[in-house]
Amino acid sequence: MIFPTRGQAHTSSVVCFLTLVLLVVVAVHGSPIGVDPKLFKSANLSQSFESMPNNISEGLGSFAVANRPNGSHPIQSAFHIEAHKLGIGASELQRLLDKSRLKTSGDYVACYDKAENNVAQVAPGKSAWGQVYTFSTGASRNLNLLTNSFCAGGSAISNGVIVSVGGNPSEKSNRWAWDGLTAIRLYGSTDACRSNPKQCDVYEAPSLKMRSKRWYASTTRLQDGSILISGGSISGAYTNRPKIDNPTQEFWPPKNGGAPIYSQFLRDALKTNLFPFTALLARTGHVFMAANSHAMIYDWVNNVEHRLPDIPNGVKINYPATAATTLLPMTVANDFATEVLFCGGSAQDVDHPWKLSAKTSMASTQCARLVVDGTRALGGWKVEEMPEPRLMANAVLIPDGKVILINGAQAGVAGYGQHLGDHLGDSNAGIPNYRPTLYNPAAVSGSRFFTNLASSRIARMYHSSVLLLPSGIIVAAGSNPNQDVSIGPYPTELRLDFFWPSYAFSPRPDLGMIPTHINYGVHHDLTFTRKAGASSTIRVVLIDTGFSTHGLQMNQRLLELRVSGSPEVGSLSFIGPQDTTYYPPGPGRLWILENDIPSMGKRVMVGSGAPPPGYPFGAGEFTG
CATH (one of 3.40.47.10, 3.40.50.150, 1.20.1250.20, 2.60.40.10) for 510-606:
2.60.40.10
| DSSP 8-state secondary structure symbol assigned to residue 343 | E
Amino acid at 44: N
Whether the per-residue pLDDT at 300 is higher than 90: the answer is yes
Please give the pLDDT value at position 91. Answer: 59
User: Ranked by mean pLDDT, which of 170-179, 496-505, 593-602 comes out on top?
Assistant: 593-602
Q: 157-187, pLDDT tens digit by residue? A: 999 999 999 999 887 767 778 899 999 999 9
Task: Kindly state the helix (H) or strand (E) to which residue 80 belongs, with its residue range.
Answer: strand 75-85
Q: 526-576, pLDDT tens digit by residue? A: 999 988 776 689 999 999 999 999 999 999 999 999 998 776 778 899 999
Whether the per-residue pLDDT at 60 is higher than 50: the answer is no
Q: 258-284, pLDDT tens digit by residue? A: 999 999 999 999 999 999 999 999 999
Please give the pLDDT value at position 68. Answer: 41
> Following CA atoms 59, 61, 63, 64 in sequence, which dihedral angle do they give, to the nearest 10 degrees?
180
DSSP notation for 506-528: S--PEE----SEE-TT-EEEEEE
Number of residues that this document lists for the chain: 624
Report the percentage of the chain scoring pLDDT > 70. Answer: 82
Q: Where are the alpha helices (DSSP H) in 4-85?
A: none
Please give the pLDDT value at position 5. Answer: 29
- Is 610:619 a contact under the CB 8 Å cutoff? yes
Task: State how far the Cα of 295 lies from the Cα of 308, in Å rounded to an integer.
Answer: 5
Task: State how far the Cα of 615 lies from the Cα of 234, in Å rounded to an integer.
Answer: 25
Q: List strands edge to edge, sheet with 287-291.
A: 277-280, 287-291, 294-299, 304-308
Across the chain, mean pLDDT equals: 84
Please give the pLDDT value at position 83. Answer: 57
Average pLDDT for residues 56-67, to the nearest whole number?
Answer: 37
pTM score of the predicted model: 0.88
